[in-house]
Amino acid sequence: MKYLTIIIGLLIALSNSPKKEADLIITNANVLGIDNVIIENCCIVVEKGKIAAVGDSESILKQYDAKNFYDAKSAYVYPGFNDAHCHFFGYAFNLAQYVDLKDTGSIDEIIEILKEYDKKYSPVFICGRGWDQNNWQIKDMPDWSKLNAEFPDKPVFLLRVDGHAALCNKKSFEMAELTERSVVAGGEIKLINGEPTGLLIDNAIELVSAIIPEPGIPQMSEALLQAQDTCLKYGITSLTDAGLGKNEIKLINFLQKTGKLKIRINAMLNPSDDNFDFLKNKFSETELLKVVSVKLYADGALGSRGACLLKEYSDDSGNKGLIITDYEDLRKICKYAYENNLQVCTHCIGDSANRVMLDIYSEFLKYGNDRRWRIEHAQVVNDDDIGKFSQYSVIPSVQSTHATSDMDWAGIRLGDQRIKDAYRTKELLEQNGWLPNGTDFPVENINPVETFYASVFREDKSGFPDGGFLPDQKLNREQALMSITYWPAKACFDEKVKGKIEPGMYADFVFMDINILDCKKEDILKSKVLSVWINGEAELVVH
């Protein structure tokens, strides 16, 4: 009887205990739970930018009160998307350096856009990209006459949509010391009646592009914020930039500290003494910025036959591609990284490049290590090498949309047999049981839902090919979702704070209109991001 009184007393005390006060309670949310199932009608409690509690509405509202409430209106709530490998700064650089001329209809329209741009920014060099005379009424290739008349004293450089031609003005030719007599291998300075027209083709483009000064800090800052807006639009709250120098990192850090750049960035460091020195002595990690890895390049790309293969290209006899960084340098940097507790992330496309790097890694890494050294792309991996990923705990970092973008010509480069060694997404996942996924934007589109779709269906956006390209390598929906949320976080040692909706994690979310794990296939690419949250604050709300 005595005990019963105590228990009843305790229960009364508990039921009367004051509610805990939080910063925010998100109500009426369909939340991705730990077991990758959507739990309906949940509340998420946010305190100091982190998740304090998640649970069914009734029990949460009994325990918590908050200064702010947000009704999710049955939206599906996922951890903020995380791009495991992209070029955020490079994308912003393109925005800053080039005026967008993509949907222009004539040279006159281009000139109007350039005049306005010149008035606004007064750059020393006017650069544009994206024009395509096939979309114009007059479909002949343009010449420089109108540009010369409008911009006699300021250099102009306008890249065609495919990057294989550029229209310049006379001033830029003068500055680059180009004449009709200049010659370049693999390129052409277009002449009519022996006179230059301002058009440069292929390798000749570099004769002018090489003298263009880089955009200044104000332009880059604006472009980085613009790049952030695009990322937020697609639900990205975190990303890994695959290769930055100290000055780029400093600018990102500065913009994050002003409160304008809110997206979380993991920067892979380009290897140089200067950059290593900066990391050692002058950089301290923040909640928004970390630098824990060094980026190396073993080879080039498959499309341009720069990827290094064990045997010659099927469509280019005698050519195996090249290892582009000296073998001893690769080893030296790996040794430095190992001794200084840095992660190594190496770009490897061809089967030879993958073998070279896996073997160098294995010299340093022991079995079952937790250093998470990465191979970026891991695009063509020979059967004799694939087991080395699990043997040395090397993390493959893939881009599912590369498979569906390359599928039309990859088999021609590699041949019927070797193509089976390419884009081995599922087998790579099985190596360590997890796999970070990215877009490599601006190479591919920024949208992580396209990565999800390509991972699950191995089809392009038009649904081709029916049944999928190399369909044995499909991921299931849960794996595909983890590959754009939790696993990219784990790939940069952030798994305790990012990628799941659990207490202790950052309150970074993306609210969507579909249950991506259990909706019709055709609804996936039509899905909408409703709002995006970083640190428990809505950075973007779509009405």
- Return the number of the residue (44 or 375) whose C-beta is nearest Zn ion: 375
At CA 454, angle to CA 449 and CA 456, rounded to 5? 95
Beta strand pairing call for 165-168 and 395-397: unpaired
Asked whether 400 and 300 are in contact (CB, 8 A), the reply is no
Region of 197-205, 391-399, 434-442, 527-535 interacting with Zn ion (CB under 5 A) = 434-442
Dihedral of the CA atoms 267, 487, 434, 270 (nearest 10)? 0
Q: Min. distance of Cβ 45 from Zn ion in angstroms?
A: 38
What residues have CB less than 8 Å from 7, skipping those under 6 apart?
A: none
Q: Position 468: which residue type?
A: G
- Return the number of the residue (178 or 252) whose C-beta is nearest Zn ion: 252
- Return the number of the residue (175 or 301) whose C-beta is nearest Zn ion: 301
Region of 94-102, 167-175, 435-443, 449-457 interacting with Zn ion (CB under 5 A) = 435-443
Beta strand pairing call for 509-512 and 76-79: antiparallel
CB-count exposure of residue 78 (10 Å: 0-12, 13-18, 19+):
buried
Q: Min. distance of Cβ 295 from Zn ion in angstroms?
A: 9
Q: Min. distance of Cβ 242 from Zn ion in angstroms?
A: 4
Q: Min. distance of Cβ 163 from Zn ion in angstroms?
A: 17
Q: Position 64: which residue type?
A: Y
**Total number of residues binding Zn ion (CB under 5 A)?**
2
CA-only gyration radius of the chain, Å: 26
Query: 87-126: which residues touch Zn ion (CB under 5 A)?
Result: none
- Return the number of the residue (97 or 439) whose C-beta is nearest Zn ion: 439
Residue 83 lies near Zn ion (rule: CB under 5 A): no
Output the six-digit token pair for 98: 């080039």
Q: Position 491: which residue type?
A: A
Query: 210-269: which residues touch Zn ion (CB under 5 A)?
Result: 242
Asked whether 540 and 232 are in contact (CB, 8 A), the reply is yes
Asked whether 513 and 527 are in contact (CB, 8 A), the reply is yes
CA 44/CA 60 separation, integer angstroms: 8
Q: Min. distance of Cβ 404 from Zn ion in angstroms?
A: 17
Query: 437-466: which residues touch Zn ion (CB under 5 A)?
Result: 440
Q: Min. distance of Cβ 369 from Zn ion in angstroms?
A: 25
Maximum CA pair distance of the chain? 111
Nearest Cα to Cα of residue 77 among 439, 514, 398: 514
At CA 59, angle to CA 54 and CA 61, rounded to 5? 85
Exposure string of 482-498, with b = 16+ CB inside 10 Å and e = fewer, is bbbbbbbbbbbbbbebb
Q: Min. distance of Cβ 425 from Zn ion in angstroms?
A: 17
- Return the number of the residue (301 or 525) whose C-beta is nearest Zn ion: 301
Q: Min. distance of Cβ 440 from Zn ion in angstroms?
A: 4
- Return the number of the residue (171 or 372) whose C-beta is nearest Zn ion: 372
- Return the number of the residue (310 or 345) whose C-beta is nearest Zn ion: 345
- Return the number of the residue (450 or 459) whose C-beta is nearest Zn ion: 450
- Return the number of the residue (101 or 398) whose C-beta is nearest Zn ion: 398
CA 338/CA 342 separation, integer angstroms: 6
Q: Min. distance of Cβ 402 from Zn ion in angstroms?
A: 10
Query: 466-495: which residues touch Zn ion (CB under 5 A)?
Result: none
3-state helix/strand/coil string of 282-301 = CCCCCCCEEEEEEEEECCCC
Q: Min. distance of Cβ 161 from Zn ion in angstroms?
A: 21
Q: Min. distance of Cβ 90 from Zn ion in angstroms?
A: 9
Asked whether 382 and 424 are in contact (CB, 8 A), the reply is no
Which residue intervals of 419-528 are DSSP H helices? 425-432, 448-457, 477-482, 486-490, 521-524
- Return the number of the residue (133 or 238) whose C-beta is nearest Zn ion: 238
Q: Min. distance of Cβ 244 from Zn ion in angstroms?
A: 12
Beta strand pairing call for 50-56 and 38-47: antiparallel
- Return the number of the residue (84 or 381) whose C-beta is nearest Zn ion: 84
CA 308/CA 319 separation, integer angstroms: 9
Asked whether 410 and 304 are in contact (CB, 8 A), the reply is no
- Return the number of the residue (25 or 239) whose C-beta is nearest Zn ion: 239
Contacting residues toward Zn ion, per CB under 5 A: 242, 440
